[in-house]
């Protein structure tokens, strides 16, 4: 969907919770040559995997970063006049990336700073900006794109980059030389146009710690939020909010059993979650059950964004790559 643009990858926040090293290895094998992390601490363990690929650090160059950045093969994405000054002093003439603010008012240089010649003489590889509302149909998208083109015309850079996952869905006008998806690589559906084109990437499974039967009037879990209306069969799974299966899934989450979905009942605990398994008398302690973690539907169930669902995935999962 990035058309003629190269497709990079945001692998910050430990590869959106999947494990940045594993993500980088696989995306590099698939041809990805441009990776983005937020901090130098995130960059450090990935550098040895880069080969001929490049790694950019989105937070740029704070005072504390100088010693990590000096001599590192990663490039800072310079966001402010102070960061530009620091790179001029410590960057030894190496290439950097630069973030322009085109209306999000988060990070980046302003049109006035560009007009003042702040970037003159810098060797810039990727000149980028970031869309605030690419997941919505609003006039701000085209305004940011136009502002980006205007500002970029005044700066010499090797490549231009604007689109995140949702921005890619806005079409070729937003692709420029390099796109920077994160969410969509991990199975997130950033805009409705992409529904059906993006496969689920992350599946989560939990193991049954105990099966039990409850009768009419019995209550289940913390604060007794579920009361059985009749006999029911439950399975207690070894997953909870400490695994990123947050309490938003209490009473709304569901598990996949054969072709059926069965509900989460009661409150999700730190390490345990109850599901109703009347339909599956064959399930035993130790069996594995898949929770519904298709990101758009899990987002609707939990009230969490697709991003939050991924980045809160806990460290107790064994991550199996297939
Ligand atoms: C996180 C991030 C991305 C990736 O965004 P998605 O919405 O996950 O595709 C791209 N660019 C920048 C500057 C980011 O911070």
| Atom number, ligand 1, closest to the C-alpha of residue 16 | 8
Catalytic residues: 12, 222
Q: Identify the pLDDT of residue 302.
A: 98
Residue ranges of alpha helices (H) inside the chain are 12-16, 20-29, 40-43, 66-69, 81-90, 111-115, 139-152, 165-169, 295-302, 306-311
pLDDT at residue 78 in the model? 98
- Which is the closest atom of ligand 1 to the Cα of 58? 13
The class that CATH gives domain 204-311 is mainly beta
Distance, in Å, from the CA atom of 84 to the CA atom of 134, rounded to the nearest integer, reads 28
CA-nearest residue for atom 4, ligand 1, is: 182
- What tens-digit pLDDT sequence spans the chain (322 residues)? 999 999 999 999 999 999 999 999 999 999 999 999 999 999 999 999 999 999 999 999 999 999 999 989 999 999 999 999 999 999 999 999 999 999 999 999 999 999 999 999 999 999 999 999 999 999 999 999 999 999 999 999 999 999 999 999 999 999 999 999 999 999 999 999 899 999 999 999 999 999 999 999 999 999 999 999 999 999 999 999 999 999 999 999 999 999 999 999 999 999 999 999 999 999 999 999 999 999 999 999 999 999 999 999 999 999 999 9
10 CA distance to ligand 1 middle (Å): 6
CA of 279 to the centre of ligand 1 (A): 41
Does residue 10 have its Cβ closer than 6 Å to ligand 1?
yes
Ligand 1 atom with the smallest distance to the CA of 183 is 8
Give pLDDT, residue 71. 87
Nearest CA to ligand 1 atom 6: 182
Confirm or reject: Cβ of 60 under 6 Å from ligand 1.
Answer: no
pLDDT of 107 reads 98
Instruction: Check if the beta carbon of residue 171 is closer than 8 Å to that of residue 145.
Output: no
- Indicate if the alpha-carbon torsion angle 26, 28, 31, 33 is positive or negative: positive
Written in H, E and C, the secondary structure of 143-209 is HHHHHHHHHHCCCCCCEEECCCHHHHHCCHHHCCCEECCCHHHHCCCCCHHHCCCCCCCCCEEEEEE
**Domain 6-194: CATH architecture, name and number where available:** Alpha-Beta Barrel (3.20)
Are the beta carbons of 54 and 158 closer than 8 angstroms?
no
Extents of the domains making up the chain: 6-194, 204-311
Q: Which of 180, 181, 183, 202 to mutate to test the pocket of ligand 1 (most atoms within 8 A of CB)?
A: 180
The response to whether residue 183 sits with its C-beta less than 6 Å from ligand 1 reads yes
Determine the Cα–Cα distance for residues 163 and 178; give it in Å rounded to an integer.
8
């Amino acid at each position: 969907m990035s058309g003629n643009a190269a497709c990079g990858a945001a692998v910050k926040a430990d590869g959106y919770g999947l494990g940045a090293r594993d993500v980088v290895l696989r995306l590099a094998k698939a041809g990805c040559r441009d990776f983005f992390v937020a901090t130098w601490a995130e960059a450090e363990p990935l550098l040895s995997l880069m080969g001929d690929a490049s790694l950019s650090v989105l937070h740029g160059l704070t005072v504390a970063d100088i010693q990590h950045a000096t001599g590192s093969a990663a490039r800072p994405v310079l966001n402010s006049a102070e960061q530009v000054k620091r790179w001029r002093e410590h960057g030894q003439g190496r290439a950097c990336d630069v973030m322009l603010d085109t209306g999000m008012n988060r990070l980046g240089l302003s049109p006035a700073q560009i007009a003042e010649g702040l970037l003159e003489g810098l060797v810039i590889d990727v000149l980028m900006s970031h869309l605030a509302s690419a997941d919505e149909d609003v006039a701000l998208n085209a305004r940011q794109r136009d502002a980006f083109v205007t500002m970029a015309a005044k700066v010499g850079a090797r490549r231009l980059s604007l689109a995140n996952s949702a921005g890619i869905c806005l079409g070729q006008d937003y692709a420029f030389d390099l796109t920077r998806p994160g969410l969509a690589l991990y199975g997130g559906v950033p805009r409705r146009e992409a529904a059906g084109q993006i496969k689920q990437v992350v599946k989560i499974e939990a193991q049954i710690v105990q099966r039990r039967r409850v009768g009419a009037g019995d209550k289940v879990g913390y604060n007794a939020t579920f009361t059985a209306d009749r006999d029911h069969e439950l399975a207690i799974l070894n997953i909870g909010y400490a695994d990123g299966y947050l309490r938003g899934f209490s009473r709304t989450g569901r598990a996949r059993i054969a072709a059926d979905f069965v509900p989460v009942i009661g409150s999700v605990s730190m390490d345990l979650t109850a599901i109703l398994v009347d339909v599956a008398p064959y399930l035993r302690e130790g069996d594995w059950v898949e929770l519904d973690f298709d990101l758009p539907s899990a987002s609707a169930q939990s009230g969490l964004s697709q991003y939050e669902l991924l980045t809160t995935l806990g460290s107790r999962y064994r991550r199996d790559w297939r």
